[in-house]
Structure 1
Amino acid sequence: MPQRSSLVEPRVLLLCLVAVVLGVCAAFIAQLLVSLISLVTNAAFFGRWSTQDASPAAHQLGAWVIVVPVVGGLVVGLMARWGSRAIRGHGIPEAMEQVLLNESKIPARITFLKPVSSAVAIGTGGPFGAEGPIIATGGALGSFLGQLLHVTGDERKVLLAAGAAGGMTAIFGSPVAAVILTVELLLFELRPRSLIPVAMAVVAAAGVRYATVGTEPVFAMPYVDEPGLVALACYVLLGAAIGLVSVGVTRAVYAIEDAFAKLPVHWMWWPAIGGVVVGVVGYFAPLTLGVGYTNIEDIVAGHFAVGALAFLCVMKFISWSIALGSGTSGGTLAPLFTIGGALGALAGFGMVAIAPGLGIDPRIAGLVGMAAIFAGASRALLTSVVFAFETTQQAHGLLPLLGGCAAAYLVSALAMRNTIMTEKIARRGVRVPTEYAADYLEQVLVRDAATRDVVSLRTSDELGEVRRLLASGRTEYQHQGFPVVDDAGVVRGVVTRRGLLDPAEPNIRRIGDMRLRPPVVVHEHHSLREAADHMVAEDIGRLVVVGVDAPHPLVGILTRGDILSAHRKRLKGAREGGRHIRIREAIRRYTG
């Protein structure tokens, strides 16, 4: 008899405890990474030994600034060649691949190689954010602890997600968005047994951040008025346009990556080659160097003029896309937010100039652009909305964010199959889940799918009479196994066709006196998911279905075919929905 599934098990308490420790550790590692980036930045651009926050844009190196990203790229290439190739990229796709293919097992060396390589790449001017590396580092730490504790693959996945979410929370102070990010991009499920530990981890990480950094929003934004109906519609249209841009950005990044793959040099040298572009762009546009979180804050605060916005947007895209395509180590969130925010603010200024009476606020437009480009590029819709809200704490921007990100998501889903997070691993033949629906088999009970008109044998039946029935050719006696019940209808065992035809057994023998197999049974109130898992565990293709009430009388038989047939209703509904869509399309074409 299979155990009834439950929402959570007592073992989740252990996962929660480990997740809290992970959240605290990830928070301190995130702060350490930020300090390490500042240390490299100060050393590379200002020649001083300090962990104080410093922007590469304030350097006084002149044309020598071109050399700094090249040196950083060379160091990262060497680390990838002789340390681990897994440090290349922006972190999240690599974590997704380990979750999907390797039971969430990440090599322990990634825990320190990834943050160090990212600190070198970003600290020497790489146009990346720290969020991707710290998500990857926190995930690697969670995976490492999971391997030490010898937990199951599913539990290790939860710990990986808890570490990643804790790291993101510590960087941005966005605990809710961090939880949603793990659901949309790492867990590929929404179950209490995985959601609760991750939530505990981000609460712990947020507590550390509040105690050490404070509770101020990362991207401080002035108060904005609530948008009217027309303005809201404009923000939705803006989100759709940004969604189209996100498609172009994604394709451009991978086209550049493909171009690097055609170079007649080892991939170890690619980050240095990309560093040349980063340095040249940084010479003309210093604001493109480094993480650029202050750029995002200035965009949503309305501190940029139109010309400066356009220049920053173009130059940041050139620098980031080529650097990312070269395979160096760094994140994608901050560059995407900069590009999308600048585009949104530009569109907002344009709408104000054309139609000042619409009530458009360029700051909200920038906020929508910032979130919409990430929603379109990653398809992490809810993450994008909640993240933009938590990092600015602008309640009046929430509805424009929801509409704009939904529109961007729609356009992106219609225009491209994979995302900036999944394209790389999809090319390797990995199928990434994109929809998280309730398990259909959990919704169907065994009693609704089992075959009830089943032939059973009684313990009092003589073997000779049963053999005559088997030889009669009647369809109902052509099965390979039969349940055996007593005179009260209670199942006593199962006998196979082979056992019934065994010549060593005399015809006068009673079925109840034969050697019966213990029945593998399931209650009629079990779900088909529980029944299917029971079949796999017992390595059989059919289950005896019994009633819930004692003495548990025989109800029927459940086969693998019955489980497959249960999907017919679901498939029928999907086909009818598709047929209705096709009918509407035909009517539209006919009416012009």
Structure 2
Amino acid sequence: MSGTGTTDAVGTANRGTVVETRPPSPVARLRNAPWGLLALAVTVGAGAGLGSIAFRWLIVTFTHLFSGHADYAGVGREANPHVPWLGVFFVVLAPVVGGLLYGPLVDRFAKEARGHGVPEVMLAVAQRGGRINPQVSVVKALASALCIGSGGSVGREGPIVQIGSALGSTLGRVVKVSEDRMRLLVACGAAGGIAATFNAPLAGVFFSMELILGAFSVEAFGATVLSSVTASIIGRAAFGDTAFLTLPPFHVEHLGQYGLFAVLGVLAGVVGVGFTRILYWIEDACDWAWRGPERLRPAVGGLLLGVVLLVLPEMYGVGYPVLEKAAHGGYVAGFLLLLLVGKVLATSLTIGIGGSGGVFAPSLFIGAMLGAAYGATTHQLLPSTAGAVGAYALVGMGAVFAGASRAPITAVVILFELTGQYSIILPLMLAIVLATLTSRLLSHDTVYTLKLRRRGIDLNAPAPGARIGSQTVEEVMEPLPAPLPDATELAEAGDLLVRSEHGALPVLDAEGRYLGTLTARSVAEVLAERPGGDFEPPALAGDLAEPTTPLTTDMPLSTALHALVAAPGTGLPVLAPGKDRLIGWLTHQSALRALHTPVSA
């Protein structure tokens, strides 16, 4: 990546000792002010909340168009009233028609909208500085709504995470924030999307920090909370303050149940890993079998999905009505296991043929079927100890998700928010921890990271072909922050440094020549000193500017790294070769980004 020019123009005029400066633009103030991140986080949250409303409306609209019902999964074998002459066989054609619509859309405008979305966001944060194609938000919303509405057995969390993250990334580009803030805005978009879609603000925060950022910090927590709360308020205004699932009350009726929950946790870890493996085995099989153009793959593969829906119409779409009925004990154990296998097959086939949707909701569905079947069986074997079937369905939901994603905090929080019952915490934590440990013993990857590893990408390692040291400074430098005129008073310079995210700013003379850098630490030390005797502390930025090792755009990064490590602050200015004109800024982050810049980038 390269950047030239300054982000904020600071005009200087040689009028004796008077130097005029233009005030920073509103965008620059938003980017650099301490309150800027808060305002951006709220803006991203509002966008994610509105996006979730539009996305859910699209799903309902397309589902009603393709099936004649608001949610066909819970209806049973009924005909589509729009085409009653087809009878129940309309489910064979619905995925084909849907694939004919979203297949070309994804192939033409945003190929990254294919699949379940979260891995692409994780990759953008880990190795692309949070940069996501702005078109993704629109294409993902349309493609996923068409896929789910026409019978695709996937969830809506992956799409809304990708939609919200794309909004955050786009806003970051418009405001020209630093890479760190760009990643944070992407995480804010993910948090807001989850919060508004599932009415689970805490789950949105922990999902974005645990899976998207992969780290916890005070700044990240504060920003994602603001985004999540904002999106939740908008979502509740549209959908009401109710959970997206109606689940039964939870009670632990016997201490012996904790042992049963522990066994369920281990089983859920195995099932979570199995779901991950089968998902990608079927995707590999679809890749091997398909030889035609990618834009037609969803339509042709939709015939296979339609056959599955004809046998098990409960697999149509997300399937929340079926999940709720299972949690309330509405199915026998044998049929629950059939629904479990059917969901694994239907979701894997939907993704494999090029569908667009998430795997979060399918993992909850699979967990509910596993837990309910396990609970029904234990109730038959240990009627005085086992307790209600619904308790095992709830715990199974969180445990299978944890086994597939290895995001235990998110799993605990979202199930707690869904039920609102503190009594669920102990058995839920026990089962989820055991599911996570079991998953870790059985597999190195999760349902999200395995998709990337299959493409040769390891989020915890340098990108293949990284060339750190061989690039020039121009390839990795960032835009230049607003420089300081040498006649700037130290008190004013201190205020500007506080609002800057670099800890140091370049200083220019009246003719725009580079003099050195002024660091926040040096200004603070001078302002804190009390003059005594003949000592007169420096009064202007130019008096305190420190000359630095000159970096030029044609300098190898390997050479520049030595100066960067020894420099105060968080970066160094970059000059044009043979000149004293500033055109960029090299930071530790931009240098480390070279670790994740492949040769083809």
TM-score when normalising by structure 2: 0.69
Residues 224-243 of structure 1 mapped to structure 2, 5 A cutoff? 224-243=250-269
Match of 2:65 in 1: 43
1:540–1:165 Cα change, 3 Å: closer
CA distance in 1, matches of 2:332, 2:146: 32
How far off its partner does 1:373 sit?
Answer: 0.9
Tell whether the 8 Å contact from 2:41 to 2:223 is kept in structure 1 after alignment: yes
Match of 1:161 in 2: 187
- Name the aligned partner's letter for residue 342 of structure 2: M
Please say if 1:372 is aligned against 2:396.
no
- Name the aligned partner's letter for residue 213 of structure 2: L
Please say if 1:223 is aligned against 2:223.
no
Tell whether the 8 Å contact from 1:220 to 1:301 is kept in structure 2 after alignment: no
Tell whether the 8 Å contact from 2:73 to 2:322 is kept in structure 1 after alignment: no
How far off its partner does 1:217 sit?
Answer: 2.1
1:10–1:236 Cα change, 3 Å: farther
CA distance in 2, matches of 1:540, 1:168: 40
Residues 269-418 of structure 1 mapped to structure 2, 5 A cutoff? 269-418=296-445
Q: 1:114-165 deviations in whole A, cap 9, x for unaligned? A: 0000011011011111111011100000100011010011101111111111
- Name the aligned partner's letter for residue 412 of structure 2: V
Match of 1:538 in 2: 563
Match of 1:502 in 2: none
RMSD: 2.4
Aligned length: 435
Match of 2:213 in 1: 187
- Name the aligned partner's letter for residue 39 of structure 1: T
Which segment drifts farther, 323-332 or 413-422?
323-332
Match of 2:140 in 1: 114
Match of 2:72 in 1: 55
3-state SS of paired residue (1:356): coil
1:265–1:541 Cα change, 3 Å: same
Please say if 1:205 is aligned against 2:231.
yes
Residues 244-283 of structure 1 mapped to structure 2, 5 A cutoff? 244-263=270-289, 264-283=291-310
- Name the aligned partner's letter for residue 250 of structure 2: V
1:223–1:539 Cα change, 3 Å: closer
Provide the identity percentage: 34
CA distance in 1, matches of 2:145, 2:177: 31
Match of 1:33 in 2: 55
- Name the aligned partner's letter for residue 300 of structure 1: A
Larger RCO: Structure 1 or Structure 2 (Cα < 8 Å, ≥ 6 residues apart)?
2
How far off its partner does 1:37 sit?
Answer: 1.0
3-state SS of paired residue (2:456): coil
CA distance in 2, matches of 1:21, 1:542: 35
How far off its partner does 1:542 sit?
Answer: 10
3-state SS of paired residue (1:23): helix
How far off its partner does 1:12 sit?
Answer: 4.8
- Name the aligned partner's letter for residue 63 of structure 1: F
Please say if 1:83 is aligned against 2:109.
yes
Residues 437-516 of structure 1 mapped to structure 2, 5 A cutoff? none
- The answer for unaligned runs of 5 or more in structure 1 is 1-8, 47-51, 435-517, 521-534, 544-592
How far off its partner does 1:426 sit?
Answer: 1.7
Which segment drifts farther, 419-428 or 343-352?
419-428
CA distance in 2, matches of 1:11, 1:382: 32
Q: 1:82-133 deviations in whole A, cap 9, x for unaligned? A: 1121110111011111112211111111110000000110110111111110
CA distance in 1, matches of 2:191, 2:563: 37
Q: 1:289-327 deviations in whole A, cap 9, x for unaligned? A: 011122222222323333432332222221111111223
3-state SS of paired residue (2:256): helix
Question: Radius of gyration: which is bigger?
Answer: 1
CA distance in 2, matches of 1:538, 1:203: 43
CA distance in 1, matches of 2:226, 2:35: 11
CA distance in 2, matches of 1:429, 1:283: 37
Q: 1:413-453 deviations in whole A, cap 9, x for unaligned? A: 0111111100111223322249xxxxxxxxxxxxxxxxxxx
CA distance in 2, matches of 1:124, 1:280: 13
Q: 1:466-524 deviations in whole A, cap 9, x for unaligned? A: xxxxxxxxxxxxxxxxxxxxxxxxxxxxxxxxxxxxxxxxxxxxxxxxxxxx899xxxx
How far off its partner does 1:169 sit?
Answer: 0.8
- Name the aligned partner's letter for residue 55 of structure 1: Y
TM-score when normalising by structure 1: 0.70
Please say if 1:20 is aligned against 2:42.
yes
Which segment drifts farther, 149-158 or 216-225?
216-225
Match of 1:70 in 2: 96
1:389–1:273 Cα change, 3 Å: farther
- Name the aligned partner's letter for residue 237 of structure 1: V
CA distance in 1, matches of 2:274, 2:281: 10
Tell whether the 8 Å contact from 2:141 to 2:160 is kept in structure 1 after alignment: yes
Tell whether the 8 Å contact from 1:57 to 1:287 is kept in structure 2 after alignment: yes
Tell whether the 8 Å contact from 2:52 to 2:235 is kept in structure 1 after alignment: no
CA distance in 2, matches of 1:519, 1:146: 32
CA distance in 2, matches of 1:75, 1:212: 28
Tell whether the 8 Å contact from 2:165 to 2:189 is kept in structure 1 after alignment: yes
Residues 169-184 of structure 1 mapped to structure 2, 5 A cutoff? 169-184=195-210
Tell whether the 8 Å contact from 1:68 to 1:279 is kept in structure 2 after alignment: yes
CA distance in 2, matches of 1:12, 1:356: 60
CA distance in 1, matches of 2:355, 2:247: 32
- Name the aligned partner's letter for residue 15 of structure 1: L
CA distance in 1, matches of 2:424, 2:417: 11
Tell whether the 8 Å contact from 2:283 to 2:352 is kept in structure 1 after alignment: yes
CA distance in 2, matches of 1:391, 1:259: 36
Give the counterpart of 1:144 among 170, 181, 199. 170
- The answer for unaligned runs of 5 or more in structure 2 is 1-30, 80-86, 462-545, 549-559, 569-601
CA distance in 1, matches of 2:335, 2:212: 37
Match of 1:420 in 2: 447
How far off its partner does 1:359 sit?
Answer: 3.4
How far off its partner does 1:361 sit?
Answer: 2.5
CA distance in 2, matches of 1:540, 1:113: 43
3-state SS of paired residue (1:229): coil
- Name the aligned partner's letter for residue 108 of structure 1: P
Tell whether the 8 Å contact from 1:375 to 1:408 is kept in structure 2 after alignment: yes
- Name the aligned partner's letter for residue 377 of structure 1: A
Tell whether the 8 Å contact from 1:38 to 1:53 is kept in structure 2 after alignment: yes
- Name the aligned partner's letter for residue 263 of structure 2: L
Tell whether the 8 Å contact from 1:72 to 1:120 is kept in structure 2 after alignment: yes
- Name the aligned partner's letter for residue 457 of structure 2: V
- Name the aligned partner's letter for residue 237 of structure 2: A
Which segment drifts farther, 392-401 or 250-259?
392-401
- Name the aligned partner's letter for residue 256 of structure 1: I
Q: 1:164-199 deviations in whole A, cap 9, x for unaligned? A: 111111111111111111111111221112221111
1:402–1:56 Cα change, 3 Å: closer
1:226–1:11 Cα change, 3 Å: farther
How far off its partner does 1:539 sit?
Answer: 3.2
